[in-house]
């Protein structure tokens, strides 16, 4: 009856701790690769066989030693301090492990709990590359890349800013003979690829993006300045042309006014000259001529009178009329 009570007390006690450990969801405390032997640390100095030692995995008993006798598991799996050695772990070995140590009177001496995470080792990656426009694209090929950490090395120098599976490196940063390799790792292993030397060549005109942007900005500014200058010149030319037109109009009006003032005088002179040209001057009659000659002869010398007599105008003959008979 007493043994039954002790056994029942141990079951209830360890069951409570097992439930508590299983309900506690915590991060991994120990990482291990598939196939490795993993020691679970439990150090209790002065451990004797009079103590009751129990190990559980996800609330399942994997080792039990009580009353100087191993009732579950193998004695060689426990060392002198109580640590448990897990041999050839696999993915199913992951989980929560709990160690409980009781005195002979079933009082708790100490306990330990921890989370074990078992992972597969990473495989060796394969590095490939392709040439792009002014860049070389590097790809670190590996199966099951989820959860892996990538790193890149360029000419034996780690690139701290590159942690992706695929990277692009500017050709301006690659010298002739430069080499690259990538590495992948998880919590339990790490592998690196073979070294690769890209043979991409940059085009003849290879400018940095900042240089191209600067040139484009300068060209746009120059074009804007030229447009402003052209607009100002056009406006100045238009204003000058408008001023010339206005001055020409004013000058034309002045000339028109002067011409209108001169036209009446000119017309009068033209009419007067035409009338003078058309109207014949009056011819003196013979009698007046004779009178003038007589007056002159009285005043002049006898020589002049003689010459004047010789120059007297002969009478104008009358026109002949045909007789009616001749007709």
User: What pLDDT tens digit does each residue of the chain (327 aa) get?
Assistant: 444 344 444 444 444 444 444 444 468 999 999 999 999 999 998 888 889 999 999 999 999 999 889 999 999 999 999 999 999 999 999 999 999 999 989 899 999 999 999 999 999 999 999 998 899 999 999 988 998 999 999 999 999 999 999 999 999 888 888 999 999 999 999 999 999 999 988 765 545 566 767 888 888 888 999 999 999 988 888 888 888 888 777 777 777 777 676 555 454 555 455 445 445 555 555 454 445 434 444 444 444 344 434 444 455 555 555 554 444
Name all domains of the chain by residue range, CATH numbers in brackets: 2-119 (2.60.40.10), 126-192 (2.60.40.10)
CA distances 74 to 63, 78, 96, 192, 232, Å, are: 7, 8, 20, 40, 101
178, with CB counted inside 10 A (0-12, 13-18, 19+), is: middle
Q: Dig out the tokens for 93 from the structure.
A: 């070995």
> Cα–Cα distance between 140 and 167 in angstroms, integer?
9
Record the pTM. 0.53
Look at residue 284 in the predicted model and tell me its pLDDT.
54
> Cα–Cα distance between 215 and 202 in angstroms, integer?
20
Look at residue 95 in the predicted model and tell me its pLDDT.
97
Locus of tokens 């992951």: 94
Q: Dig out the tokens for 48 from the structure.
A: 């004797």
> Cα–Cα distance between 85 and 76 in angstroms, integer?
9
Look at residue 212 in the predicted model and tell me its pLDDT.
67
Concatenated DSSP letters for 266-315?
Answer: HHHHHHHHHHHHHSPPPPPPHHHHHHHHHHHHHHS-HHHHHHHHHTPPPP
């Amino acid at each position: 009856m007493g043994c039954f009570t002790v056994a029942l007390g141990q079951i209830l006690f360890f069951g409570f701790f097992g439930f508590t450990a299983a309900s506690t969801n915590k991060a991994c405390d120990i990482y291990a690769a598939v196939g490795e032997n993993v020691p679970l640390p439990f150090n209790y100095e002065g451990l004797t066989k009079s103590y009751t030692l129990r190990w559980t995995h996800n609330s399942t008993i994997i080792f039990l030693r009580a009353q100087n006798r191993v009732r579950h598991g193998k004695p060689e799996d426990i060392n002198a301090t109580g640590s448990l050695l897990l041999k050839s772990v696999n993915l199913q070995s992951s989980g929560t492990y709990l160690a409980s140590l009781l005195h002979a009177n079933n009082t708790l001496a100490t306990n330990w709990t921890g989370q074990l995470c078992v992972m597969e080792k990473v495989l060796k990656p394969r590095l490939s590359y392709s040439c792009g426009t002014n860049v070389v694209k590097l790809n670190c090929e590996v199966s099951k890349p989820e959860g892996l950490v990538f790193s890149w090395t360029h000419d034996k120098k780690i690139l701290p800013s590159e942690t992706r599976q695929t990277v692009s490196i500017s050709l301006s940063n690659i010298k002739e003979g430069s080499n690259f390799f990538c590495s992948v790792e998880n919590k339990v292993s790490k592998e690196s690829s073979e070294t690769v030397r890209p043979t991409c060549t940059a085009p003849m005109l290879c400018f940095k993006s900042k240089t191209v942007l600067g040139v484009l900005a300068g060209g746009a500014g120059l074009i804007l300045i030229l447009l402003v200058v052209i607009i100002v010149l056009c406006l100045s030319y238009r204003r000058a042309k408008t001023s010339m037109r206005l001055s020409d109009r004013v000058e034309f009006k002045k000339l028109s006014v002067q011409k209108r003032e001169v036209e009446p005088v000119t017309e009068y002179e033209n009419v007067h000259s035409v009338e003078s040209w058309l109207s014949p001057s009056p011819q003196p009659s013979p009698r007046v001529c004779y009178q003038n000659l007589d007056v002159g002869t009285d005043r002049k010398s006898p020589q002049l009178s003689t010459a004047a007599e010789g120059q007297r105008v002969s009478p104008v003959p009358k026109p002949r009329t045909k007789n009616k008979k001749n007709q």
